[in-house]
Amino acid sequence: MKILLVYAHMEERSFNAAMRAVALERLQANGHEVQLSDLHVMNFDPVPRAGDFAAPSDPSYIRYDIEQRHAVATGGLSADIRDELDKLLWCDCLILQFPLFWFSLPAILKGWIDRVFVNGVVYGGGKWYDRGGLGGRRAMLAFSTGCFPSMCGADGINGDMDIILWPIQNGVLRFAGMQVLPPFIAWSVAYRDAAGRHQALEDYGRHLDGLETATPLAFHHRDDFGADWRLKPGIAPKAVGQAGANRDR
Amino acid sequence: MKILLVYAHMEERSFNAAMRAVALERLQANGHEVQLSDLHVMNFDPVPRAGDFAAPSDPSYIRYDIEQRHAVATGGLSADIRDELDKLLWCDCLILQFPLFWFSLPAILKGWIDRVFVNGVVYGGGKWYDRGGLGGRRAMLAFSTGCFPSMCGADGINGDMDIILWPIQNGVLRFAGMQVLPPFIAWSVAYRDAAGRHQALEDYGRHLDGLETATPLAFHHRDDFGADWRLKPGIAPKAVGQAGANRDR
C-alpha cells in the first residue's frame, strides 16, 4: 500500500519519536511505500488564513469552505496545503500518530485537518460518510496517552475511549469516506519502565502488520438514515455515536 | 461575574463575529466584567514549542508538561502563555466561542488549551475533575455549526451532540475542575435566512442571561470511582461518557 504517516510531536527523544521510527521501519519492511509529514519539522501552520488562497472569490469576506472550493477549481490553494492534499490523495492508508492532548488531537494536527481536508475534494456537495471524497482508503489513529486503560473503559473516570475518539474516528476519518481501522493506543507511557515501553513498541509493530487485513470499525451506512438524518426505524444502532438511539424515540 | 471570552474566528463579517458582538454587549449590560481573547487578532500561536520556556530544566529533552510545571515554579513561562493564564485565573466564567470545525475546536483554540491549561496550575499532581485547578469557575461552549439538530440527535447521522462534545466538556472543562453549563449551539447557520440568523442571535443573548443561574451539566464526582478508576458498583451512570457502563461488567 501507499501509506501517508502524519506525525505530530515536537521532541526527537520522545516515545512518539520511537513509535515513528518503528512505523517507518516496519511499514517499509512489509513492502509498503511510505510518505511522512512530520508537522513540527515542517513547521506546519495549523491556522486557516485568508492567505491560503491566491485569488479568493471575495477577498472582503472570507468564507473558508467556499474559498477552498473556489481555490480547488482555480488552482489557487497555497503550496503547503496543495502538497499535503496531494499526499492525502496519493495514499491508500492514512496514519495519524500523535500524543493525545486533552483527549483530542494536538493543535498542529487538528489544523492539518482543518486546512488540508479541503471542501470540494474531501467533503462537500454530497461527499460525506460512504460517499466521502477519500473513499476506498483506510485510516488509523496511533497515539500515546497518560491514561491507564481502566480510566477509559465503558465506566472509566475519563469516559469510554470509543466515545472520546468518536469526533475523530467518525467526524473526520469516516466523514471523509475512509475505512477506520482499530487504533493503536500506547497506554500510560510515562508510568511504564523501559521494558514496558519496549513492549509497547513491539505491540505497535505487530499492530501495523494488520493494516491490510484488519477489520474496520463498524459505522452505519448513509442509507441507514432517513430523510430526517436519523436512523430508520428498525435499524439497530451499531456505533457508539448512535448508542443512545432509543433514548428519545 | 468576571468573564473571559475566548473567541476564534478569522472573518470580521462572519456570523461568529456577530455572536461575539452580542456577547460583549449583553454581558456588560448584565453587569459582568469581560475580558476578550480574540485569538486571530492576537495572532495567537497554537503550537507548543521549546521556546515557551525561558529556562527549561532539560533543554536537550523537552517534556512539555514537566517543563510547564518547572516554568510555573521558576517564573519562566513565555509572556503570551502567562497573559492568557492570568486571564483564566482571573475569571469566574470561561466562554469558548468558535465555529465547530470537524466536530471539534478549531486548531487555534485547541492550541490555546494545549499551551495555557498549564500543568501544575490547571491540572496535575492530583488536580483533576472535582479537584481540578480551575475549581469554583463556570465554563460554557458557544458555537456555530453547519449541522441540523436532527443530525446530532441520539440517533442522528453525526452521532449524539453530547458524545461529540464529551472530549471538550468532560475532557477539558470538567477535567480542569469547572462547572460546565449547557452549550449554546447556533445550528445550520449557513442554511438560514437573515431572519433565522437574527433569531439565533436573540437566542444567544437569552442563553447568556442564564450564565449565573443555569444548572450545570451532570458529571460524576471523583469519589464515584473506585481505586481502579471505574464507577463503584451500585453507582448508576449519569454522564454520556459512562453511559455504556454496564456493557462490559
* pLDDT tens column, A159-203: 999 999 999 999 999 999 999 999 999 999 999 999 999 999 999
- Residues in chain A with CB shorter than 8 Å from the CB of B175 are 102-103
Domains contained in chain A, number = 2
Strands B138-144 and A33-38: unpaired
Interchain proximity A242–B156, CB inside 8 Å = yes
- Please tell me which residue of chain A has the smallest CA distance to B101: A114
Residues B83 and B228: their CA atoms lie apart, in Å, by: 38
Query: How close does chain B come to A94, measured CA to CA in Å?
Result: 17
Residues B126 and B162 in one domain: yes
Residues B212 and B237 in one domain: no
B191: exposed, middle or buried (Cβ count in 10 Å: 0-12, 13-18, 19+): exposed
Residues B86 and B202 in one domain: yes
Interchain proximity A156–B104, CB inside 8 Å = no
Q: Which residue has the cell 492530583?
A: B126
CB contact at 8 A, B111 and A8: no
> What cell does A29 get?
519492511
Residues B237 and B144 in one domain: no
pLDDT, one tens digit per residue, over A97-124 is 999 999 999 999 999 999 999 999 999 9
Q: pTM of the predicted model, to two decimals?
A: 0.97
Interchain proximity A171–B160, CB inside 8 Å = no
Residues A41 and A135 in one domain: yes
Mutation target among A14, A47, A247 for the B interface, most CBs of B within 10 A: A47
Q: Which of B17, B115, B101 lies closest to A48 in space, CA to CA?
A: B101
Residue B247 has pLDDT above 60, yes or no: no
Mapped to the 3 state alphabet, what secondary structure does A205-225 carry?
HHHHHCCCCCCCCCCCCHHHE
Residues B206 and B223 in one domain: no
Query: How close does chain A come to B201, measured CA to CA in Å?
Result: 19
Amino acid at A76: G
Respond yes or no on whether ipTM tops 0.90.
yes
Going through chain B in order, the beta strands assigned E by DSSP cover 2-7, 33-38, 93-99, 138-144, 179-180, 184-186
Q: Write the residue in A13, A159, A163 that is nearest to B61 by C-beta.
A: A13
B55: exposed, middle or buried (Cβ count in 10 Å: 0-12, 13-18, 19+): exposed
Query: Helix, strand or coil for residue A178?
Result: coil
Structural domain that includes position A225: 221-249
Residues A176 and A247 in one domain: no
Query: How close does chain A come to B241, measured CA to CA in Å?
Result: 4
Predicted pLDDT at A137: 98
pLDDT, one tens digit per residue, over B63-97 is 999 999 999 999 999 999 999 999 999 999 999 99
Residues A149 and A203 in one domain: yes
Q: Write the residue in A61, A159, A168 that is nearest to B13 by C-beta.
A: A61
Q: Write the residue in A64, A110, A240 that is nearest to B104 by C-beta.
A: A110
Identify the CATH number of the domain in which residue A28 sits. 3.40.50.360
Residues A246 and A210 in one domain: no
- Residues in chain A with CB shorter than 8 Å from the CB of B164 are 166-167, 171, 241
- Please tell me which residue of chain A has the smallest CA distance to B111: A107
Interchain proximity A10–B64, CB inside 8 Å = yes
- Residues in chain B with CB shorter than 8 Å from the CB of A167 are 102-104, 164, 167
Amino acid at A40: H
Residues A199 and A100 in one domain: yes
What sign does the dihedral A115-B164-B9-A40 (CA atoms) show?
Answer: negative
Interchain proximity B11–A163, CB inside 8 Å = no
Residues A209 and A225 in one domain: no
Interchain proximity A63–B103, CB inside 8 Å = no
Residues A169 and A91 in one domain: yes
Cα A202 from chain centre? 22
pLDDT, one tens digit per residue, over A28-75 is 999 999 999 999 999 999 999 999 999 999 999 999 999 999 999 999
The band of B245, judged by pLDDT with boundaries at 50, 70 and 90, is low
Q: Write the residue in A14, A49, A229 that is nearest to B151 by C-beta.
A: A229
Instruction: Compute, in degrees rounded to 10, the torsion defined by CA atoms A75, A80, A85, A88.
Output: 160
Query: How close does chain A come to B2, measured CA to CA in Å?
Result: 25
- Please tell me which residue of chain A has the smallest CA distance to B231: A155
Interchain proximity B159–A240, CB inside 8 Å = yes
Q: Write the residue in A48, A60, A248 that is nearest to B153 by C-beta.
A: A248
Percent of chain B's residues with pLDDT above 70: 98
pLDDT, one tens digit per residue, over B220-234 is 999 999 999 999 999
